[in-house]
Amino acid sequence: MITFDDVVKVYPGGGTAVDHVSLELPTGRTTVLVGPSGCGKTTSLRMINRLISPTSGRVLIDGQDVAQQDEALLRRGIGYVIQHAGLFPHRTVLDNVATVPVLVGKTRREARAAALGLLERVGLDPALAKRYPAQLSGGQQQRVGVARALAADPPIMLMDEPFSAVDPVVREGLHREFLRLQQDLGKTIAMVTHDIDEAIKLGDVVAIFRQGGTLAQVGTPQELLADPADGFVAEFVGRDRGLRSLSFDTAADLPVKPVPDDLELDGAGRPVGWRKTNETVPTGGTFTKTDSLRLVTDLAILSPVGIAVRVGEDGAADGVVRHRDLVDHLEARRSS
Amino acid sequence: MITYLQNNSEVVLAALRQHIALALIPVVLGFLIALPIGYLGVRVPWLYHPLVNVCGVLYSIPSLALFVFLPVLLGTKILSPLNIVVALTIYTVALLARTVADGLRSVDALVIESATAMGYRRVRRLVDVELPVALPVILAGLRVATVANISLVSVGALIGVGGLGQLFTRGFQLFYLEPILVGIILSVLLAAVADLIIVLIQRAVTPWTRFAGSRA
């Protein structure tokens, strides 16, 4: 666990970057620090690996004050990923990834062998191992940056706007892989972003900072969307927070109606499309019990007949949901 | 010219050997002295501008004046090759101290930050990351210094120690063109070969620069 204990950072110029922040980042979880620019989120992150030291207060890792530890040794146990990856231009992809293992005393050969495995783990073609950073795309560089931070298997990862410098399509892919990796690895992650959607998507815990370096609210994404502490948080999480909160509920409890006759099925019972007078129109997608209510809502709205089709594990249609059923369910959900 | 070379091969070879020694020893010495000075100019930010100014002034001292003035300052004999070596070392330091500082300043701050954050200590970060990344700029300066030194050695002939330059003075004294031509051709060749060697070294030690800007 990483603990901020009444941390203050005042710069010599007089600006207060972080103002009496106390915060706990649970072990094995992703905590996202989010807020407008100049809110102290990056300063806070950089106090964990002592790139910045607090003016007062303490930052502790598992109860140990980081200020009491050897800087270099502390940092070798904390992975660090930044916006433009910060790769070493003079080293190949493989040697970039092998950096920290070599630093802690592994032989170059051992470190390289391990690095090769890591490249695959972050979704990079091992054929890229011999390339230099200048030969990679932005998204590839970012993956190398993540692999490099993971190389010494540190229990803690700090990520400063790791996905901001890539285009939305690439970012979407990186998000998916981040969630998959974190499911496997269970690192204690502190991530900084200015993007509330990214925070809600990736964070187990989200800490919202406001200008002046104070904490506005800390909670799970569900808590922040359902119950913002004040007007600032409500505005920051956005006007469509109600709709987004549907992402966290699955369709498991959503009652379905029997499959109507005008849904055309193939031999195995899989939906083909809706029969109209002289043509069949595609359903536009289906959902399963594990999908989110947000997806179901989306399907119902987009469907040519206003009906979302549920399928079982075998892909066969086993029920449908109409707009009215959805509204009734949301109504019941609200009052429960 | 061929007959001149055949009859005077001993003299010409001796002059060439001296020329190489007088030009390259200062390059090596100057580089070793310039490294810490250049680093200091980056490590202590307010030193950078004074450093650049002092280097500029040093480099603008006429070489002949320095050759004549140094024996007085060092207590060496006027004909000692040491005067040339010291003078050219000063020029090399003047050129390279600034180049080293500029090279180190050219290293992306993000690269330095991520090296620090990964747990590099200062000295190892300098040796493993900052200097290698600064190498293209530093080696470019080294090429200029080497070629400049090779041309400056000849001026030493005016005070009696000048490698191939002695072939010029001899030719002028005897109203004889051959040694002058041989001297010019050999010093140009020497400069070209030295430059080529540094370029080859540069290719070998900074393979990554060839890909700059060529994103796959």
Supply the mean pLDDT for chain A. Answer: 90
**Chain A nearest C-alpha distance from B31 (Å):** 22
**Chain A nearest C-alpha distance from B25 (Å):** 29
Contacts of B125 in chain A (CB under 8 A): none
Residue B216: the pLDDT is: 41
Residue A91: the pLDDT is: 95
**Contact (CB<8Å) A135/B211:** yes
pLDDT at A323 over 80: yes
Note which residues in 146-185 of chain A have CB less than 8 A from chain B: 148, 158
| ipTM exceeding 0.90, yes/no | no
| B125 close contact with A: CB closer than 8 A | no
* Interatomic CA distance for residues A234 and B143, integer angstroms: 62
Q: Which of A18-32, A70-84, A240-254 has the lowest mean pLDDT?
A: A240-254
Residue A336: the pLDDT is: 62
Question: What string of pLDDT tens digits covers the 216 residues of chain B?
Answer: 778 888 888 888 888 999 999 999 999 999 999 999 999 999 999 999 999 999 999 988 888 888 888 888 888 887 788 888 999 999 999 999 999 999 999 999 999 999 999 999 999 999 999 999 999 999 999 999 999 999 998 888 888 787 888 888 888 888 888 888 888 899 999 999 999 999 999 999 998 888 765 444
Residue A310: the pLDDT is: 93
User: Which chain A residue's Cα is nearest to B111?
Assistant: A86
User: Which chain B residue's Cα is nearest to A97?
Assistant: B118
User: Which chain A residue's Cα is nearest to B209?
Assistant: A90
Q: Which is more confidently placed, A100 or A252?
A: A100
* Interatomic CA distance for residues A272 and B10, integer angstroms: 97
CA atoms lying within 13 Å on the CB side of residue B154: 20
Q: Which domains does chain B have, with CATH numbers?
A: 2-207 (1.10.3720.10)
Note which residues in 124-153 of chain A have CB less than 8 A from chain B: 131-132, 134-137, 148
In this complex, the residue of A80, A134, A158 whose CB is nearest that of residue B214 is A134
**Contact (CB<8Å) A89/B133:** yes
pLDDT at A240 over 80: no
| A96 close contact with B: CB closer than 8 A | no
Does CATH place domain A251-335 in 3.30.230.10?
A: no
**Chain A nearest C-alpha distance from B196 (Å):** 22
Contacts of B124 in chain A (CB under 8 A): 103
* Tokens, residue B190: 């020497």
Residue B215: the pLDDT is: 46
If pLDDT is split at 50, 70 and 90, which confidence band does A37 have?
confident
Residue A28: name the closest of A65, A1, A4, A48 by CA.
A1
| A205 close contact with B: CB closer than 8 A | no
Q: Which one-letter DSSP state was computed for residue B130? A: I
| B118 close contact with A: CB closer than 8 A | yes
In this complex, the residue of B110, B119, B212 whose CB is nearest that of residue A134 is B212
| B137 close contact with A: CB closer than 8 A | no
> pLDDT tens across A273-290, in order?
888 888 888 888 899 988
Domain ranges of chain A: 2-248, 251-335
Residue B157: name the closest of B148, B149, B166 by CA.
B166
Note which residues in 15-54 of chain A have CB less than 8 A from chain B: 49, 51
User: Which chain B residue's Cα is nearest to A90?
Assistant: B208
Residues forming a β-bridge with A207: A33, A218
Residue B212: the pLDDT is: 62
Superfamily (CATH) of domain A2-248: P-loop containing nucleotide triphosphate hydrolases (3.40.50.300)
> pLDDT tens across A108-127, in order?
999 999 999 899 888 899 99
Residues 6+ apart with CB under 8 A from B201: B139
**Contact (CB<8Å) B118/A137:** no
**Contact (CB<8Å) B117/A90:** no
Residue B84: name the closest of B183, B166, B180, B11 by CA.
B166
* Tokens, residue A206: 């989200």
Residue B165: the pLDDT is: 85
